[in-house]
């Protein structure tokens, strides 16, 4: 019902103000405003429900309250970042040289939901998409107030129909790099790029296929980091500098863990994107994988090297939980079947911000590979005594190290905190005994990441 009403209004309005528009879809925007927040909400929901994914206020989950009461009111958001926005739109117009009257609501139009859904679903690879404008707003909010800071670069991974891209730009982002791996979305994104004044750069690149391991030709969407960064003119920065790039996107469901492992290895050895500084990730990952990521010592089942390394390297913050249904999927199987014991009803927007002090006390990118190996060896089994592991690497050194650490002799590897592992490694690395240990040899043999760095 409400959609129909909406359409009627839309038609009416179209005839009224057709000269102001960029396209048909802009009209719907014009409609939204006069009708006001409440009816907007209603119509939005009904559209979405028909597609079997809802975004009612409850399902927004725990992150929502932080948004404040007006989170569903695009209007009030739009009005707040005032001058910068107006300026951007002005210049965009100026560049294009189009003669067009200025309009108070001259924002990038997000496109019609149905059309975006259709385009997303037409994607040949299995991918999740942010199509819902409210969801996009929410993500933009979470990227923080420094969005409008000219220094912040945002890498948006696989924007697809570009709803989040536009939302970010509308929110005042000064430099968005859209890395799209699927050719079919490129054209529209590039068109958008052309209409703007440098706030958006579009690259045919899949962030999750950066620095491929295998041999063979590297063709887009696969790419080497240095090429990407050089092309974008981003230079290396010190680890302790401010965050140079924020990455936002949805981690592909295929091989989530493998991807996260690959990234954390790169982080410790400062390879791949991490050569360029503390790259912050804001990724949607499955709830299951998120829970594993943040498992604490003592939960023997899930406390693994994977989580320990990420916790050691980054401040991890859960920004938001969104039910799977809120995303559009380009496959029939939208919600993953959760076989395991962990709940998996949501995608979690997680911020992984590398710690500035990670490399300040003895850990260096070159000895980090030993740390990786040590953590992996320790946590292959969680219910073994740490002292046994240590003695295996350097006989009789275990009790000395443990007393230096102030740990009890019978502590299990699954009870040691990530910070403690880091400290333990720093002690080991200083001691002469351990540098002779085979542990140091081992890393070199097992580094199968030759395509890196």
Partner 1 sequence: MGRNPNCSPKVVSRCLSQMEEDGLSVDDLFNRCVFRQDERDMLLKAIRIIKPEYQPRLNMHTSKCSSLLVQDFYSERADHIYPKLDFTQEDLQERFKRQLSVEQACTITIDSVEAAKPVTENMAKMRELLAEQRIQWQKILLQALRESKMILAKSNTRDYRLNLYPYLCLLEDKEYVDIMIQSVANLPPSGESLKILARDLGNRVFTKYCVRQKHQNQTVEKLGSVYNAYTDLLAKDTKVYDVLPREQWWKLEMEQSSGPTLQGGETSWPYIVTLELGTYMVDMMVKNLKINSDILNPAYDRKFIPILYHMYTFRSTRQVGFIKPHPILTQMQQEAMETKLTFDSYVMPMLCPPVPWTSVKFGAYLLTPTKLMRTVDGATQHEELLEKCQNLHAIYDSLNQLGNCAWKVNKPLLDIIISIFNDRGSDKLDIPPPLSEAPKIPHFNPQDHSYTASEKAHMKRQVINAKKKCSEMHSLRMDALYKLSIANHMRDEIFWFPHNMDFRGRTYPCPPYFNHLGSDVTRAILVFAEGKLLGPKGLDWLKIHLVNLTGLKKRSSLQGRLEYANTIMEDILDSADNPLNGRKWWMNADEPWQALACCMEIANAVRSPDPAQFISHFPVHQDGSCNGLQHYAALGRDVIGATSVNLMPCDVPQDVYSGVAQQVEELRARDAESGLKIAQVLEGFISRKVVKQTVMTVVYGVTRYGGRLQIEKRLKEIDEFPKEFVWDASHYLVRQVFNALKEMFTGTREIQDWLTESARLISKSGHTVQWVTPLGLPIIQPYHRTRNQVLKSTMQHINLKISHDTKERPDTVKQKNAFPPNFIHSLDSTHMMLTSLHCYSSGLTFVSVHDCFWTHALTVDTMNKVCREQFVALHSQPILQELSNFLLHKYCTGVLTEAKSKKYQEYRRLMMLLAKVPQTGDFDLQRVKESTFFFS
Contacts with partner 1, residue ranges (CB under 8 A): 215-217, 257-258, 261, 270-271, 275, 364-367, 376-377, 380-381, 392, 395-396, 438, 441-442, 444-448, 450, 452-453
Least spacing, CB of residue 13 vs partner 1, in Å = 51
DSSP 414: G
299 is in an annotated binding site: no
Let me know the angle formed at the C-alpha of 435 by 430 and 440, rounded to the nearest 5 degrees. 120
CB of 369 to partner 1, least distance (A): 8
Contact 372, 429 (CB under 8 A): no
E strand or H helix that includes residue 179: strand 176-180
Q: Which residues contact 160 (CB under 8 A, 6 or more apart)?
A: 119, 120, 123, 127, 129, 130, 131, 180, 182, 185
CB of 370 to partner 1, least distance (A): 8
Sheet containing strand 200-204, edge to edge, reads 200-204, 176-180, 153-157, 245-250, 280-286, 346-354, 314-323
How many other CB atoms are there within 10 angstroms of residue 142's CB atom? 18
Q: Is 206 annotated as a binding residue?
A: yes
Taking Cα atoms as reference points, which of 193, 175, 189 lies closest to residue 116? 189
Within 8 A by CB and 6+ apart from 64, the residues are 57, 71, 138, 320
Q: Is 442 annotated as a binding residue?
A: no
**Closest CB to partner 1 among residues 107, 393:** 393
- Rounded to a whole number of angstroms, the minimum distance from the CB of residue 361 to partner 1 is 15
Q: Provide the minimum distance between the beta carbon of 98 and partner 1 in the complex, in angstroms, as a whole number.
A: 40
- Least Å distance between CB 452 and partner 1? 8
Please confirm whether the linkage preceding 221 is cis (ω < 30° from 0): yes
Closest to partner 1 by CB, 17 or 213: 213
Tokens found for residue 309: 């390394």
CB of 365 to partner 1, least distance (A): 7
Identify which of residues 227 and 257 has a Cβ nearer to partner 1 in the complex: 257
What are the angstrom distances between the C-alpha of 270 and each of 124, 273, 277, 279, 327? 34, 8, 8, 10, 33
Min dist CB 128 to partner 1, Å, is: 21
Instruction: Count Cα atoms within 13 angstroms, Cβ side, for 173.
Output: 31
The answer to whether 114 is annotated as binding is: no
Shortest Å, Cβ 422 to partner 1: 18
Whole-number Å distance between alpha carbons of 23 and 179: 25
**Closer to partner 1 by Cβ: residue 262 or 346:** 262
Q: Choose between 102 and 380: whose C-beta lies nearer to partner 1.
A: 380
> Is the CB of 15 or the CB of 337 nearer to partner 1?
337
Question: What are the backbone dihedrals phi and psi of residue 327, each rounded to the nearest 5 degrees, phi first?
Answer: -105, 155
Q: Count Cβ neighbours within 10 Å for each residue of 361-392 and write b for 16 or more, e otherwise.
A: eebebebbbbbbbbbbbbbeebeeebbebbee
Task: Kindly report the length of the chain.
Answer: 453
| Residue that is written with structure tokens 């209004």 in the block | 9
Are 194 and 170 in contact by the 8 Å Cβ rule? The answer is no
| Residue with smaller CB distance to partner 1, 97 or 258 | 258
8 or 380: CB nearest partner 1: 380
Which residue number, 114 or 441, has a Cβ lying nearer to partner 1? 441
Query: CA neighbours within 13 Å on the CB side: how many for 284?
Result: 26
- List CB contacts of 373: < 8 A, sequence separation 6 or more: 439, 442, 443, 446
Residue placing its CB nearer to partner 1 in the complex, 86 or 380: 380
With 0-12 CB in 10 A as exposed, 13-18 as middle and 19+ as buried, what is 450? exposed
Q: Measured from the CB of residue 117, what is the shortest distance to partner 1 in angstroms?
A: 31
Q: Which residues are documented as binding site?
A: 128, 130, 180, 206
Q: Which residues are documented as binding site for S-adenosyl-L-methionine?
A: 128, 130, 180, 206
């Amino acid at each position: 019902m409400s959609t129909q009403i909406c359409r009627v209004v839309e038609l009416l309005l179209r005839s009224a103000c057709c000269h102001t528009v960029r396209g048909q879809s802009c009209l719907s925007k014009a409609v939204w405003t006069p009708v006001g927040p409440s009816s907007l909400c209603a119509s939005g929901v009904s559209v979405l429900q028909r597609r079997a994914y809802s975004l009612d206020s409850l399902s927004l989950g725990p992150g929502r309250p932080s948004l404040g009461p007006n989170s569903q009111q695009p209007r009030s958001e739009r009005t707040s970042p005032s001058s910068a926005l107006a300026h951007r739109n002005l210049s965009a117009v100026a560049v294009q040289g189009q003669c067009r009257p200025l309009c108070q609501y001259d924002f990038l139009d997000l496109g019609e939901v149905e059309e975006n859904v259709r385009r997303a679903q037409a994607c040949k690879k299995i991918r999740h998409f942010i199509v819902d404008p409210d969801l996009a707003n929410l993500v933009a909010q979470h990227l923080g107030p420094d969005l409008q800071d000219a220094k912040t670069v945002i890498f948006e991974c696989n924007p697809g129909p570009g709803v989040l891209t536009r939302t970010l730009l509308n929110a005042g982002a000064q430099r968005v790099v859209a890395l799209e791996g699927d050719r079919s979305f490129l054209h529209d994104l590039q068109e958008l790029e052309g209409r703007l004044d440098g706030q958006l750069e579009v690259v045919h690149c899949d962030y999750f296929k950066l620095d491929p391991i295998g041999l063979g030709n590297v063709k887009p969407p696969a790419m080497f980091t240095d090429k990407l960064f050089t092309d974008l003119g981003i230079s290396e920065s010190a680890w302790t500098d401010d965050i140079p790039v924020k990455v936002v996107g949805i981690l592909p469901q295929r091989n989530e863990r493998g991807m996260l492992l690959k990234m954390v290895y790169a982080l410790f050895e400062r390879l791949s994107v991490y050569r360029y500084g503390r790259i912050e990730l804001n990724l949607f990952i499955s709830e299951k994988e998120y829970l594993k990521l943040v498992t604490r010592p003592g939960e023997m089942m899930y406390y693994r090297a994977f989580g320990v390394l990420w916790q050691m390297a980054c401040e991890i913050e859960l920004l938001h939980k969104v039910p799977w249904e809120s995303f559009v999927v380009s496959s029939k199987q939208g919600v993953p079947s959760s076989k395991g014991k962990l709940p998996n009803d949501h995608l979690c927007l997680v911020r992984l911000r590398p710690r500035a002090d990670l490399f300040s006390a003895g850990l260096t990118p070159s000895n980090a590979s030993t740390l990786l190996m040590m953590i992996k060896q320790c946590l292959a089994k969680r219910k073994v005594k740490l002292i046994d592991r240590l003695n295996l690497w350097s006989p009789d050194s275990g009790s000395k190290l443990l007393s230096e650490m102030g740990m009890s002799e019978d502590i299990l590897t699954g009870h040691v905190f990530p910070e403690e592992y880091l400290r333990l490694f720093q002690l080991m690395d200083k001691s002469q005994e351990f540098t002779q240990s085979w542990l140091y040899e081992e890393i070199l043999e097992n580094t199968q990441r030759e395509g890196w760095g």
